Amino acid sequence: MAFFKKFFKKKEEVHKTKEHDTKQVEAKEESLQEETSIAEEEKQNIILSEPIMELQEAEQEKEYQVEHQEVEHVEESAEFNDLVEETAHELEEQSETVTELQPAVEETAINEETQAEEVMKEEPKKKGLFSKLFSGLTKTRDNFLGAVDDVLRGFKKIDEELYEELEEALIMADFGVDTTLNMMERLRALVKERKITEPSELKNTLQEIITDILTAQENTPLIVEGKPNVILVIGVNGVGKTTTIGKLAHQFKEQNKNVVLAAADTFRAAAIEQLQIWADRSQTPLIKHEEGSDPAAVVFDGIKAAKARKSDVLICDTAGRLQNKTNLMKELEKMGRIIEREYPEAHKEVLIVLDATTGQNALSQVKVFKEVAKVDGIVLTKLDGTAKGGAVVGICESLKVPVKYIGVGEKIDDLQPFDPEAFAAALFNTEKK
């Protein structure tokens, strides 16, 4: 702005000077003309050399004046041109700076746009996860929360009778006896400590206790970044092992991971065929042998394929026959040995799949598997089809094995990482605490 003010002020000054000088020249011209006509007269009347010389001098002076004026004008216009050039130069420099800044400005704009897009993508994803969890837990919530609300509405003060009825509601929702007793003990202690008198306030306190139990168990990620990973999936027939493997493969592939599947449940031909369907669905290579072949040999070939493809994750299906614990133990041990020997650099996880509809039975399955293998995490399937979702709390509390994923439907993207706070919020129909 200052530059333009300076520029126009100078321009005005130049213009004024020019006007003033032109007037002066015109006045001079007039007087010269007058002098010329007098001289002419004199020339005509008295022919004398002196006036002629004067006239010549006057003419010369006039010429000089005009020339001088022109020079001044030329100088002024040169000054004006300089100013114009200076302006142009400054403008050019400014435009260069703008051009230099342009890519940075564009980059910033693109970055902001990308970030906004990512946030926009992330937000519905988060919302989608919670709404799926929320609708998946409908039966459990109706069963559990409905019973809790009924109890709390029926009392004006917190007394022993209220505690007993709450205890019953928790047991009916499959929290398990031990976990329920433990929860009630914590509830009584908090009521005393916080001097709670209103029955309606117990709901919040219960949600807090459940969130606390679910988050108490350290939950590590299923796979380690920058390392090859092997996941052995165990569990009894029909719990949703194959489906879970397909869903996991799909999720890892969405995260741009290279995945290989191995059909090490060779006990039934149908298990291999079913895994092939999920491998096709998630577009993942499947290593398989004939029905009845050695499961450890399938794992061996799976490792070979994973190494050749520089895979991030190898997921092995296994047969879960609890009827013969000795065989099951031998089979799992042999697979473990092969992995240790052939793939020592890999991170190994044993994931047990449990069917939530079996409620407390799921808990006893984990107990048996824990006798034959080290179990690192739990996948609880079919939470959408059961009123017994409270079993999750019992499993977390009594087994000290973290729930890593939950199944909330039959579709490929109906498996989600277990989020304890979101689970408790969906159970109590509230916000995450």
Ligand X SMILES: Nc1nc2c(ncn2[C@@H]2O[C@H](COP(=O)(O)OP(=O)(O)OP(=O)(O)O)[C@@H](O)[C@H]2O)c(=O)[nH]1
Q: Which residues contact ligand X by CB under 6 A?
A: 235, 237-243, 271, 274, 381-382, 384-385, 407-410, 414
Nearer to ligand X, 207 or 318 (CB): 318
* Rounded-to-integer distance, Cα 172 and Cα 153, Å: 18
Nearer to ligand X, 199 or 246 (CB): 246
Q: Does residue 313 contact residue 260 with C-beta atoms inside 8 Å? A: yes
| Residue 243 annotated as binding site | no
Q: Does residue 346 contact residue 223 with C-beta atoms inside 8 Å? A: no
Nearer to ligand X, 359 or 409 (CB): 409
State in angstroms the smallest separation of the CB of 103 from ligand X: 49
State in angstroms the smallest separation of the CB of 415 from ligand X: 7
Q: Give the CA diameter of the chain.
A: 153
Nearer to ligand X, 271 or 339 (CB): 271
| Residue 97 annotated as binding site | no
Nearer to ligand X, 182 or 358 (CB): 358
| Residue 132 annotated as binding site | no
- 313 pairs with which residues across the strands? 229, 259
State in angstroms the smallest separation of the CB of 312 from ligand X: 23
| Residue 87 annotated as binding site | no
Helical spans, DSSP H, in 309-406: 325-342, 360-372, 391-399
Burial of 41 (0-12, 13-18, 19+ CB in 10 A): exposed
| Residue 224 annotated as binding site | no
Count CB-CB contacts under 10 A for residue 241. Answer: 27
State in angstroms the smallest separation of the CB of 251 from ligand X: 14
Question: Which of 271, 250, 385 shows the shortest CA–CA distance to 313?
Answer: 250
Nearer to ligand X, 402 or 407 (CB): 407
| Residue 266 annotated as binding site | no
Question: Which of 217, 243, 249 shows the shortest CA–CA distance to 231?
Answer: 249
| Residue 241 annotated as binding site | yes
Q: Does residue 331 contact residue 377 with C-beta atoms inside 8 Å? A: no
Nearer to ligand X, 346 or 408 (CB): 408
Question: Which of 168, 136, 133, 135 shows the shortest CA–CA distance to 150?
Answer: 168
State in angstroms the smallest separation of the CB of 170 from ligand X: 24
Edge-first strand listing for the sheet containing 347-355: 286-287, 259-264, 313-318, 229-234, 347-355, 377-381, 403-407, 415-417
Instruction: Indicate the residue whose CB is closest to ligand X.
Output: 407
| Residue 384 annotated as binding site | yes
State in angstroms the smallest separation of the CB of 367 from ligand X: 18
Helical spans, DSSP H, in 195-313: 202-216, 241-254, 269-281, 295-308
State in angstroms the smallest separation of the CB of 316 from ligand X: 13
Structure tokens at 353: 């799949």
Nearer to ligand X, 240 or 420 (CB): 240
Amino acid identity of residue 278, one-letter, is W
State in angstroms the smallest separation of the CB of 299 from ligand X: 17
| Residue 189 annotated as binding site | no
| Residue 244 annotated as binding site | no
Indicate the annotated binding residues. Answer: 235-242, 317-321, 381-384
Indicate the annotated binding residues for GTP. Answer: 235-242, 317-321, 381-384
